[in-house]
Structure 1
Amino acid sequence: VKRGKTDAADAAAICEAVTRPSMRFVAIKSEACSSVLVVHRTRDFLVRQRTQIGNAIRAHMTEFGIVAAKGAQNVDRLKEQLDRLPEAAQLPVSLLFDQLAETDKRIDRLTDEIKEAFKQNETSQRLATIPGVGILSATIIAATTP
């Protein structure tokens, strides 16, 4: 239905669809699979956040003529030059560095959880034997397939 969408119309459509013999149903995920998916999504979010924090640090320091190449390793090098910033800018940028370090710790903690789930799942271990499929990908694939 493209127009006139209501909860009642949706419920009626669902009831009709369920009665059709060609209807295919999706298996309900286990709690363990759902947990792995939540861990993956949270880790992905934090990885994006880490990139944003690094870009913010790079941008702020560039305002004062302190430039570094792209890449996480180069953001770490900028920390050594924090004392070159004006005093008023040192605190906000150092807080960003603290936030970056805390985000890295959280990512590491979630990565460890994913590795633990990988060790406990035979399917993900088999998937990881495929060239180009690592622990993270194998665990997410195993969690999303019935």
Structure 2
Amino acid sequence: MALLSCSLHFSIYNRPFSVASMQFLAILAFLPLLLLLPIFWCFVSVLLAKLGGWERLASKYATDVDPPNSVKSFQTGRLGYVNYSSCLRIAADDTGLHLSVWIPFRIGHPALLFPWDCVCVKSTDDGLLRSMAHLVIDEVDVRIPGKFVADRLPQSSE
């Protein structure tokens, strides 16, 4: 009869685990994830800045100047190979084109200010819902909503 009964008993050194010790072990297992997640977030953010060309543009056009009050948040754009979906802050005024990302993505992405004489509008694509302007700034392809460059610059003949 003793062979038919089976009980599951976890123990270390013949002492059963308590609920508190199991919770402690669960927290210890979860702790490295909490530490690695911010490091991974920073790594990906810096990598995207390098791949998209933001870092190259920042070496020349980084700014501490506050954008004008007409800044539009949650805009979508593209720099190089990187799509920035609803995380750009864009403004245009007489000094130039202001471009930044909102706070969770700022690591590796300083605010940029492009003077108008450095911006070349290659084309504008009128889509169904919005128009997108294809700009070239220091050999980096930039696509932003066309309303920010409309009536500011003549299109290039390329």
TM-score w.r.t. length of structure 2: 0.27
Q: Whose strand proportion is higher, 1 or 2?
A: 2
More contact order relative to length (CA 8 Å, sep ≥ 6):
1
Greater Cα radius of gyration, structure 1 or 2? 2
TM-score (normalised: structure 1): 0.28
Determine which structure has the larger helix proportion and give its number.
Answer: 1
